């Protein structure tokens, strides 16, 4: 049974019952004009002295709101390379000072939510080049590659965990290459959800950390995974990055054709389905043992179906509004277009599977 929920305030108008000679033509509805916030002042974060002394690098993914006054608020850490609090604190402190020309609706300043960005902490050598990996980390990476090639997955996992134990002193090169190997490990195990999580984390290091060949190949593999799950919006952004890459793998062309067809279908208005799994860290409003799945829909109406497991709540965090509720099989959510771009966060028991139909 399908339940439909419209996330908005509705006002019903009753028409007069008396007959009229001819219906008057209604004027087209004027939608609010929403202009997104634009940066005015973005100071770089201060590099934590202790981290610099230890040659530590990393990245932090932040979410924040831009107020109607152009200030930042509600700053939260969504993910980071090693959970280092000093990088978290430095990133939050920097973003708290940023100023924007506020978003506007019909010329009036308004709040803009759902802003996400990476803050990367990197050190250059005296020659201006990025740092490379230590001899011990490079040796471990070669060993992991050999074990994966031989199909010795459990041995590869043990070496990865051993290398992971040294995260407190790793740089972007080392993080990125180890995340790439975790991606390959989970892919070999058939866990494509974790594979996608780690290939995304590896790519935060960028082309300088990974090298052009590995960087573009990971983009191709990320695109393949996003298309397999039906993530058209994410796949579109990955495809754009792949097309702009300096060296594109020859195997990317067929995937880009699949992406073009997926975009055509999405633009045609036909319903399409995406698959989700609650296997990501849950950053807030989460009891112990809770996981999350985050998804950015293309359309305004989504239908939840095929739920296998427990879903506690779903939150729509949009440019101009936020809403939270519960769902079950067949529940349909309609998000007003005036709310802008949105991210859906589904929270519940780790491993829960679900389908989402965009209508």
- What CATH number belongs to 34-121? 3.30.2420.10
On whether the CB atoms of residues 169 and 191 are closer than 8 A, the answer is no
Give the start-end residues of each E strand in 269-329.
272-277, 280-281, 290-295, 301-308, 311-318, 322-325
Average pLDDT over residues 262-291: 84
The candidate with the shortest Cα–Cα distance to 87, out of 45, 42, 55, 53, is 45
Name the 3-class secondary structure at 109. Answer: strand
pLDDT for the residue 283: 59
Element containing residue 342 per DSSP (H, E) = strand 342-349
pLDDT for the residue 75: 96
Locate all alpha helices (DSSP H) within 204-308, ordered by sequence: 206-210, 212-229, 232-244, 252-268
At 290, the pLDDT band (50, 70, 90 cuts) reads confident
Parallel, antiparallel or unpaired: strands 331-334 and 3-6: parallel
Say which residue the tokens 């609706």 belong to: 105
Average pLDDT over residues 236-256: 90
Rounded CA-CA distance 59/4 in Å is 40
Q: 141-183 pLDDT, tens per residue?
A: 999 999 999 999 999 999 999 998 755 678 999 999 999 999 9
Domain ranges of the chain: 34-121, 272-358
Q: pLDDT above 90 covers what percent of the chain? A: 70
The candidate with the shortest Cα–Cα distance to 321, out of 107, 9, 5, is 9
Residue 274: both structure tokens together = 């995406």
Locate all alpha helices (DSSP H) within 8-130, ordered by sequence: 49-53, 85-96
Rounded CA-CA distance 316/28 in Å is 28
Residue 228: both structure tokens together = 């397999």
Locate all alpha helices (DSSP H) within the chain, ordered by sequence: 49-53, 85-96, 135-149, 153-164, 172-189, 192-203, 206-210, 212-229, 232-244, 252-268
* pTM across the whole model: 0.85
On whether the CB atoms of residues 203 and 225 are closer than 8 A, the answer is no
At 12, the pLDDT band (50, 70, 90 cuts) reads very low
At 275, the pLDDT band (50, 70, 90 cuts) reads very high
Rounded CA-CA distance 74/23 in Å is 49
On whether the CB atoms of residues 178 and 163 are closer than 8 A, the answer is yes
Q: For residue 41, what are the β-bridge partners?
A: 99
Query: Is residue 13 over pLDDT 50?
Result: no
């Amino acid at each position: 049974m399908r339940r439909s929920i419209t996330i908005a305030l509705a006002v019903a108008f009753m028409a007069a019952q008396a007959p009229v000679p001819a219906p008057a033509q209604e004027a087209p509805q004027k939608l609010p004009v929403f202009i997104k916030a634009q940066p005015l002042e973005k100071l770089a974060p201060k590099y934590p002295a202790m981290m610099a002394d230890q040659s530590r690098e990393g990245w932090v993914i932040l979410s924040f709101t831009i107020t109607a006054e152009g200030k930042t608020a509600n700053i939260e850490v969504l993910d980071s390379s090693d959970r280092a609090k000093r990088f978290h604190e430095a990133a939050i402190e920097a973003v708290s000072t940023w100023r924007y020309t506020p978003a506007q609706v019909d010329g009036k300043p308004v709040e803009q939510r759902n802003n996400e960005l990476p803050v990367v902490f990197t050190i250059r050598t005296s020659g201006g080049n990025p740092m490379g990996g230590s001899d011990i980390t490079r040796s471990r990476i070669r060993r992991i590659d050999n074990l994966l090639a031989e199909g010795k997955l459990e041995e590869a996992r043990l070496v990865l965990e051993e290398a992971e134990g040294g995260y407190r002193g790793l740089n972007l090169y080392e993080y990125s290459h180890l995340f790439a190997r975790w991606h390959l490990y989970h892919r070999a195990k058939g866990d494509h959800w974790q594979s996608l999580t780690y290939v995304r984390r590896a790519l935060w290091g960028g082309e300088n950390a990974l090298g052009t060949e590995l960087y573009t190949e990971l983009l191709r593999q990320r695109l393949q995974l996003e298309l397999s799950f039906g993530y058209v919006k994410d796949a579109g952004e990955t495809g754009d990055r792949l097309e702009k890459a300096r060296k594109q793998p020859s195997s990317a062309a067929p995937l880009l054709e699949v992406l073009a067809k997926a975009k055509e279908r999405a633009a045609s208005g036909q319903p399409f389905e995406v698959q989700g799994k609650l296997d990501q860290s849950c950053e807030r409003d989460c009891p112990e043992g809770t996981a999350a799945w985050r998804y950015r829909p293309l359309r305004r109406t989504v239908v939840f179906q095929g739920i296998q497991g427990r879903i506690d709540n779903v939150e729509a965090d949009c440019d101009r509004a936020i809403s939270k509720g519960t769902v079950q099989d067949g529940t349909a959510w309609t998000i007003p277009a005036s709310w802008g771009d949105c991210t859906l966060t589904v929270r519940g028991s780790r491993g829960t599977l679900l389908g989402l139909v965009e209508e």
